[in-house]
A and B are shown apart, each in its own frame.
Chain A
C-alpha cells in the first residue's frame, strides 16, 4: 500500500473511538508529565540538595570524617574532590565543596570497609537520598501505569476495529500492512502525548526555577527537557506496542 494511502487510513482511524482517545490522551499526558517531573527530580535532587545545603549552612565547603582512610588513599580522595585532607588527626578529615556525588562516595567507602561522614549534615543527606528514592519509585510506578494505559488503548482499539481489520485481510491486505497501519496510528498518538507532556513539564520546571530564584534566591536550573530520558521511554513504549499488537492480532483474527 502506498504511504499516502496509509496516512489517509490512519487519519480516518481517528474518527473512530474519539471519546476513548481523548480521555486516553488526557490521562496519558498527565501520567507522562508526572513521570517526567519525577525523573527530573530524581536526577537533579543531588545538585539541588547541594545548593540548598550550601545556602542553609552558609558555607562553601563541608568537612567530613574519613574513617579507615590512610595516606595511601590520598589520590583516590583527591579525585573525589576532597581538599585540605589532614591525616594527622585521630580520624582523617577532608573538605568537600560539591556534595552532588556524596552518596556514591559513601557507598564506595562502605564497600571498602571505610566511612565518610559528617554528624551535622548526614541527617539532611539521608532525607535527600530518601526523597530521591521516593521520586524514582513513584516515577517507575507511574510509568508502569502509563504503559498499562497505552496497552489497554491498543486492545480497545483493535477490539473496536475487529471487523475493519477482518475486512482488510479478506480484501487482500497483508497482516504486515494492517499491523503497520495501527502501529503508525498509535506511534503518532504516543508522540502527541509525549510532546504535550514535554511542553507541560517544561512549563512546570520553568515556573519552579522562577520560584526558587525569585522567592528563595536560589538558582537551581532544573532542566526543561530531559531529552535522553524521553528517547529511552519512547523506544521502550514502541517495543511494548509491537508486542501487544501481535498478541491482540492473534487473539482477534482468523489464522490461515
Chain B
C-alpha cells in the first residue's frame, strides 16, 4: 500500500515561490488502477516524482507499506526504484542505438540479476506486451506505439509491485493509446498497483479511481468501480 500524508512541494525561482503540490493526502491500496488527472501545471508529474522517490517533498510523508520513503538512504531509495517500481515515461527514455533486448537488459544490470535468468525474464516481459519478435531490433526503427510497449516491458521485467505511468499515451494515436491502456489494465489484473498520470479524461475513465488535481491540491477523488 502506498500512502502519502499532507504531501507538498515548493519550488523557488526569481519570481518567488510556487507550491506545485499542496497538502495531498492519498492512500492507494495494492492492486488499484489509479489515475491522476489535471491540466498542465496542476502538479501531476511532481506528485508522481515524489511518490516514485525521485523528488523529495518540502513537507509531508510518503510511505510504502510501513517504510517512510524519504527516511531511506539514497542507496535504499535507488533499490526501491529498481525492485519495487516500474516507470513508464511519455518520452520513452529508451536508448535509441541499443536493441530492445539491450534496453531491458539495462534494468537487469541495475538489479544485478544473474546472467542465467536475464534472457528468460526479458523474453517473458516482451511476450506480455507482444514485442518478442522485435527483441533484436534497434529501438530507433520502432514506431511510437512499439516503443511504448517496450517501455512497459522494461517497467515490468523486474516484476515490480507498482507501475508509474507518466502520460504513456501522450505521444500516441487513439488506437495505440488504447493498446497501452489495455496492457496497463492487464498488469493491474495480475496484482500490480498502477498509477497513471494523464490529462486525458477518457483514459482516466478506464481506470478504477480518478484523483483530480488542480493547482497542486486534490479537487476530487472518484471511485469508478462503484459508479
Contacts and interface: CB of A to CB of B under 8 A. Distances in A.
B57 to A, nearest CB: 10
A256 B109 contact: no
Most buried by B among A12, A16, A171: A171
Contacts of A167: 93-95
A254 B74 CA distance: 13
Of the four ranges (under 10, 10 to 19, 20 to 34, 35 or more), the interface on chain B belongs to 20 to 34
A125 to B, nearest CB: 60
Contacts of A9: 106, 109
Interface in A137-185: 163-164, 166-177
Given A168-B106, A171-B107, A1 B56 contact: no
Of the four ranges (under 10, 10 to 19, 20 to 34, 35 or more), the interface on chain A belongs to 20 to 34
A79 interface: no
A80 B49 CA distance: 72
A174 B78 contact: yes
B54 A256 contact: yes
Interface string B79-109: 1111101010100011101100000001101
A196 B111 CA distance: 37
A174 B75 contact: yes
Interface in A27-77: none
Most buried by A among B82, B95, B111: B95
Interface of B: 49, 52-56, 74-75, 77-83, 85, 87, 89, 93-95, 97-98, 106-107, 109-112, 154
Interface of A: 1-2, 5, 8-9, 12, 15-16, 163-164, 166-177, 254-256
